[in-house]
Amino acid sequence: MGAAQQSTEKMMADAKSMMGMDPTKMSETFRAMTQKSMEQSKEAYSRMKLAADDATRALETTMEHAHQGSLSLSKKAIEAMRSNAEMGFAHLEKMMGAKSFAEVIEMQTSYVRKQIEMSTDQSKDMQALTQSVAQDMMKPGREAFQKASDAAKH
């Protein structure tokens, strides 16, 4: 045996007697712990990546719902303005054909009543559409939260 090998064997024997443990087994234990730590890190990264992907998809869907909802609300508002303008022009045409002041008062009273009814209906329609848009916008986030909660329980 060479001097280097004897020296290595002596160091191993000294380490074993000092620590009460074989250094080769210690190295194997350390390697196993490192391997397990790496596996746990990879698994945690995979879960985190999956959660981030889910959150991104939920955000994209929410933004798409917000965009579509905004378009729907804008269309509904334009439709209401158009109806109001058409009703106003029709009223003006009728007013031009009035024969007496009493007829003007009657037409104006009827117009105001119709305008109030139409505004009430338009407000109800806008409120229902707004609630629907809000529900659609919240749905992806709510589903993502529920999925994350369920995953955390398991």
Span 59-77, pLDDT tens digits? 899 899 999 999 999 999 9
Which residue segment(s) compose the domain that 55 sits in? 3-153
The closest alpha carbon to 83, from 120, 29, 44, belongs to 120
Q: Tell me if the pTM is above 0.85.
A: no
User: What per-residue confidence (pLDDT) applies to 151?
Assistant: 74
In total, how many domains does the chain have?
1
More confident residue, 47 or 22: 47
Tokens of 26: 């210690």
Q: How much is the mean pLDDT over the chain? A: 86
